[in-house]
Structure 1
Amino acid sequence: MRRFVPPPGCPAHAAGSGAMPLEGPRFHTEPVALYREMRRQYGPVVPVSLPGDVPAWLVIGYREMARVTGDPVLFPRDSGLWNQWDRLPEDWPLRPMVNVPLPSIYYTVGEEHQRHLRMVEPALEAVSPFELRRHTEQLSDRLIDRFCATGEADLTADFAKPLPALVLGRLLGIPDSRSQLLVSSLTELCDGGPGALEAYRTFSGLMGELLAAKRERPGADITSRMLAHPEPFSDEEYILDLQSVTAAGHLPTADWIGNSIRLMLTDDRFSASLGGGRHSVGEAMNEVLWEDTPTQILAGRWAARDCQLGGCRIGAGDMLLLGLGAANGDPEVHDAADERAGGLRNGNSAHFSFSHGEFQCPFPAREIAEVIARTAIEVLLDRLPDIDLAVPVASLTRRPSAFLRGMTDLPVSFTPTPAAGGHP
């Protein structure tokens, strides 16, 4: 394959520095320093090279991110525009991330996307916040009961990772007896190991099973409300939308929980909350969305025509990757706000952690994720008030990905306590 040469209009070309490979340990060990170096070398839009020397642009400027995500005409989410398809081998590792011509809410564009949104968004919006909190409290207690008497746990595997899937299972109408299958298939999918393909088949089969059950016996759940929507959808569309809702809500919420707990365990500002108070939980969660967001890079957008962005000449059909985490930390916006009013982090939610514009995470889905994450952390701190890291902070590791940011494990210790019991 030919090597990517940045176009003459971009700073990288002038500097003769070429494209930056979008891989390597620094994306998960020291992303803040890495993005600082990128800004210094390239500016707010970075020419990057994906596996196989495939070219793309990584948007890391806050203002540039707002422009790209706010203009679906110039920068649509339409992978069919990509000017690299004829170069890609069939086994290109990131092909599933961009070449997914599926009729679901996540991959459709234009009016078709709006049609799916009209079905899914009201179904999510109708979730009772009281019921959601009750489910999260019950399932948090159930998970904590499994390890609370031992005095130690891995909060990633034992708590943060399974909880969102269990809660979402209840909201969708999946019986608790089948919820463990949902947890195991989603976990295998997220890990991306040799069992991922079989896990996807299991996940799809579970959604098909759920659809058939709710068609026969509707209930007060998301799936039944989707089926009651008056516009016609095929079984494939229903199943794909159910998969999208579940998968999109699972790992980002799990990492939001894990990253927030990590912050509270390693930053003295949140020590009061670890003593049983709750006033800092929301602050820690908001800071994570600014500084340690679970979704670091999102693919993507494609330029509908030649244009200029951040001093670079973007060609028609070029891929733009959304550097959500990097844009959140853009010093041009961040530092100015810090000087004026305590920073954008200080109770401000103008971050890109849920993306922005037409294809951003639907607002009801954000609310569901926030209630799950906040309730989970509050229950954990209530049940285990003296929780502490069981390993040195420096030994904690992140998922080895430039795209996602979460803990591979989070070992903790605490005073053993008896199980609470009494929960369904």
Structure 2
Amino acid sequence: VYLGGPRFQTDPAELYREMRRDHGAVAPVVLDGDVPAWLVLGYRELHQVTGDPVLFSRDSDLWNQWDRIPADWPLLPMIGRKQQSILYTVGERHRERAGVISDALESVDPFELKGHAERFADELIDGLCGKGACDIVGEYAMLLPLRVLARIYGFSDEQGPGLVTAMNDMINGREGALEGQRHLGESMYGLLAAKRAAPGPDVASRMLAAGTGFTLDEIAQDLMVMLAAGHQPTADWIGNSLRLMLTDDRFAASLAGGRHSVGEAMNEVLWEDTPTQNVAGRWASRDTHLGGRRIGRGDLVLLGLAAANSDPQVRTDSGALTGGNNAFFSFGHGEHRCPFPAQEIAEVIARTGIEVLLDRLPDVDLAVPADALARRPSPWLRGLTELPVSYTPTPALGADR
């Protein structure tokens, strides 16, 4: 099965069902350039892979396909070789770096975080509320998370918009991608130089202070990974949750100012429409078996988070609200999962963004038929290309905020 193409844009859930029917819990797939890999579709099998970092390693040097990977392979930024970030660090070194990241994020004051999220959300809506119509994804959801993250990491508010543009250019992968990557890298090294000279109460300063034994490159790479991992999935969490609330009658109360179902919608999205669909990857450190398949030493194993979340072997509530059940794989699992403090930060940003929008634009409604909404054609991240809405124009808060 080719892991790409328009079906990831139209109905990936049905594609995963077909793959599970035809291949079982572990499916053979090919990536761009006919590069082979395994996609783990089963909940239990994904738990096994992510819970055994020795057998299924994050060390990409193990890959048995490097001799056929060209230098311009489009997935290199995602899989990468000899990267210095925590994504591809294993063993005790990984645990040390993960501890530094978790401690730095855990020290973020939750009340300050919510205050920053509210302020930036209000500023963005101030620019939209008088128009009567906008694209919630492009003009709001894709701008908010990185503005908040940049602030708590130690960037000035003036740097925020440029970082948003650079990050979104990188994610889009078009003509501005390399320039976006350059801007992000230069900004991060500039931030670390400034914080070495004058530390502050921010994530970058805390990582520098705790990172004895870590190089400046390692800290910079980890901060850039944290920014990227915190921005796009959170933006898609906002967009996917608002889409659900605007198209599903079960969540109509939220649009009238209720708060209870905001959390329910966000939780359901993590089960049914998770922003991170598939993750690359793990590499088998020796020959093994998984889900009835023989996995060879050095084979690439991709984590099918969305497919595992819908595995009928563990899901008996199809179509039902998931309530407070948090056993989804949307943040990963095992020692390489998204750090818990990062999950909490993402949830505060996403929930605050949704609640502020509903408070400010209480009669917001879809401006197009629900079936006209389109998704990005990515097998990795699932989000809307746009979410056009209309509402009664209202005055900006401005100086009254």
> TM-score interval w.r.t. the shorter chain?
over 0.9
Corresponding residue for residue 92 of structure 2? 111
Q: TM-score, normalised by structure 2?
A: 0.98
Secondary structure, aligned partner of 1:47: strand
Structure 2 counterpart of 1:7? none
Structure 1 runs not aligned, ≥5 long? 1-19
Q: How does 1:373-412 map to 2 (within 5 A)?
A: 373-412=350-389
Q: 1:131 aligns with which of 87, 92, 112?
A: 112
Aligned residue for 1:352? 329
* Structure 1 equivalent of residue 346 of structure 2: 369
Counterpart of 1:414 in structure 2 is 391
- Partner SS, residue 56 of structure 2: coil
Specify which of 279, 282, 298 is matched with residue 298 of structure 1. Answer: 279
Q: Equivalent residue of 1:141, what SS?
A: helix
The partner residue of 1:325 within 306, 312, 317 is 306
CA offset digits 1:138-163 (Å, max 9, x no partner): 00000000010010110011110010
What does residue 213 of structure 1 align with? 194
Report what 2:126 is aligned to. 145
AA aligned to 1:231 is: T
Secondary structure of the residue that 1:331 maps to in structure 2? coil
Identify the residue that residue 92 of structure 1 maps to in structure 2.
Answer: 73
- Counterpart AA for 2:77: P
Q: Give the aligned partner of residue 39 of structure 2.
A: 58
Look up the match of 1:199.
180
Q: In 2, Cα distance between the equivalents of 1:229 and 1:127?
A: 15
* Code of the aligned partner of 1:417: T
The residue identity in structure 2 corresponding to 1:384 is L
Amino acid at match of 1:369: A
Partner of 1:277: 258
In 2, the alpha carbon distance for the partners of 1:51 and 1:133 equals 41
SS state at 1:334 partner: coil
CA deviation string 1:207-245 (max 9, x = no partner): 111111111111111111111116222221121111111
1:344 to partner: Cα distance = 8.2
TM-score by length of 1: 0.92
In 1: Cα distance, 2:73 partner to 2:170 partner: 18
Q: Is the 8 A contact 1:141 1:423 kept in 2?
A: no
Residue type of the alignment partner of 1:419: A
2:86 aligns to what SS in structure 1?
coil
Q: Any conservation in 2 of the 1:334–1:343 contact (CA below 8 Å)?
A: no
**Structure 2 partner of 1:26:** 7
Out of 173, 177, 180, the residue aligned to residue 161 of structure 2 is 180
Root-mean-square deviation (CA, aligned residues, Å) is 1.4
Q: Distance in 1 between matches of 2:173 and 2:252?
A: 35
Superposition deviation, residue 254 in structure 1: 0.4
Preserved contact between residue 138 and residue 423 of structure 1 (Cα < 8 Å) = no
- Please state if 1:82 is matched with 2:63: yes
Partner residue of 2:228 out of 242, 247, 250: 247
Tell me, in whole angstroms, the C-alpha distance in 1 between the residues paired with 2:301 and 2:285: 11
In structure 2, distance between residues paired with 1:21 and 1:226: 40
Structure 2 counterpart SS, 1:194: coil
1:252, distance to aligned residue in structure 2 (A) = 0.5
Q: Distance in 1 between matches of 2:164 and 2:221?
A: 18
